[in-house]
A and B are shown apart, each in its own frame.
Chain A
Amino acid sequence: MRRVISTATTEFRIALRNRWVAIALVLMAVFSLVLTLAGSAPTGGLGVDRLSVTVASLTSLSVYLVPLLALLMSFDAIAGEAERGTLPLLLTYPVSRGEVLVGKLIAHLAILAVAVLLGHGLAASVSISGDAAATSGLPALWRLSWSSILLGATFLGVGYALSALSRRPSGAAGLAISLWLGLVVLYDLALLAVIVADNGGWFTTEAFPFALLANPADAFRLYNLSASGAATTAAGIGGAANAIPAWQSLFSILLWPLAALMLAGAAFRKVTP
């Protein structure tokens, strides 16, 4: 336990000095504030409180930003040690690879959690100070917060796995950015293209829900949109949220962090220094 804590403290210190902490906090705070202020104007007629509207736009923000931050923090974790030549040294210490990985995860996840909670806290206080009814949006915001942290854990795990597989930080960075583009941006576009081509056939009715659940970012979006009932305000893929039960997307967002971390562990175990 002491070894895990020491690893986590050391990693946290490194992240602090590499400005990752500052970057994560500032990005989450600034974007959350901007979205809250922008989203607060056109309410009223919809019968939805300010915060619930904001949660819908914060969900989109988290889908892009949280995986990006997680991958940026994790791509160097193993490849960096390998390149600096400290990995063989570390592996001769009486510490297991699992402990090393968990130590790094705790540090990186703590930074992500603080950033998410800061952004969401700011959004909540701004919304509630302008509209007392906004407190009714708090459960949705809280759900968004913890599911964002789970999403972060998934992408941290995937980032560690990429880091272990590529062995070089430059290679790991390239893989991480490609993965982000692929899962967060291109995946949805590709699905849309297939749906259009499929024209209501087998793919649209049978495979499409699974395709959404299989992508941690989409599952996260589905879960938050369906649970908040704000799906109607989101266009495109968000519309599918109504068709897929919330328990399925919940299952996906709970399962993914475990799968990603097991993947990271397996990839790290295969590294020979």
Chain B
Amino acid sequence: MTSTLTITHLTKRFQGVEALTDVSLSVAPGERVALLGHNGAGKSTMMKVILGLIPATSGDVTVCDAAPGSPAARRQVAYLPENAAFHPALTGEEQVRHYLRLRGEDARQALPLLARVGLHDAARRRIGTYSKGMRQRVGLAQALIGHPRLLVLDEPTSGLDPVSRREFYALLDELAAEGASILLSSHALTEVEARTDRILVLSKGRLAASGTLVDLRREADLPVVLHVTARNGYASDIAEALPGAIRVGAALHLTCPQSDKLAVLGRITGLGDKVADLEVLPPSLEDIYSHFSRGTV
């Protein structure tokens, strides 16, 4: 099985600014990949290079066995740009019909497509009257045209409410099940972690991390936080038994590296009745994300 998208040693320089530095990655058919990174990390730039909108400074990009932006690639790749605002004078249906005809598809699919993104009732209204989320859905509808093999979605869920986001990811699951590859950018790690197969973190144009959340968690190796609540009067005893713990009233806060977690837990259970309660807090998704995003790798 060949991959849908292969990028090797991609570098993109704008006058003076190095937006992407030596990025290599590949996306397999049916794989859902999330691209994360701070503002200006190079997410949109990478997508534009993949689509052939801007040339790479160096490196190789292969999209569906073709060069980016070539007719063969364009036929098989769908795109959702960030902040696309369609012409306010057209209705949603007219806009999607136009996009269907540009792809050589039957224009009558417009209504079913709009229904798929929940815009059926507004399809005959002008886009100028749409809310932000509704405009974003017009963009999603056009990205679904003609069974693309690769969908490149730049912040597709920005402007969508939580319920719509859920529906959107359900839609992606269907597409991926049919074999489409999906590359989407986002700022919400909590949102993409359960709904994508792999996470890529870009930091200042470099690929800082790549893998499932479990991989990233292991690789980041951030300390675990333990909250121990002492039974009445035993707080000092516990504090003595656990050097490094910080007392917060009747509770003690303790941090330890992943590798020491089991040993520390053993010591705490050894304290027996003195402990009223114990909470183990793994590093949050945001912690992991900022770890890679800050480039402290």
Chain A residues within CB distance 8 Å of chain B: 2-3, 6-7, 9-10, 13-14, 17-18, 84-86, 88-89, 91-95, 272-273
Contacts and interface: CB of A to CB of B under 8 A. Distances in A.
B90 A13 contact: yes
B103 A94 contact: yes
Contacts of A84: 84-87
Contact of A92 (B74, B87, B126): B74
The SS class assigned to the A binding surface is: helix
A10 B98 CA distance: 7
The SS class assigned to the B binding surface is: mixed
Interface stretch (B17-25, B48-56, B157-165, B202-210): B48-56
A18 B83 contact: no
A88 B81 CA distance: 7
A85 B98 contact: no
Contacts of A7: 98, 102
Interface centre among B53, B75, B97, B142, by most A CB within 10 Å?
B53
Interface of B: 48, 51-54, 69, 71, 74-75, 77-87, 89-90, 94, 97-99, 101-104, 126, 139, 142
Nearest to B139: A89
A217 B194 CA distance: 64
B54 A272 contact: yes
A13 B97 CA distance: 13
B74 A94 contact: yes
A95 B101 CA distance: 10
A91 B102 CA distance: 11
Nearest to A94: B74
Nearest to A273: B53
A7 B101 CA distance: 9
Contact of A14 (B52, B90, B101): B90
B227 to A, nearest CB: 47
B74 A85 contact: no
A107 B163 CA distance: 41
Contact of A86 (B75, B78, B87): B87
A2 B82 CA distance: 28
A258 B85 CA distance: 33
Contacts of B126: 17
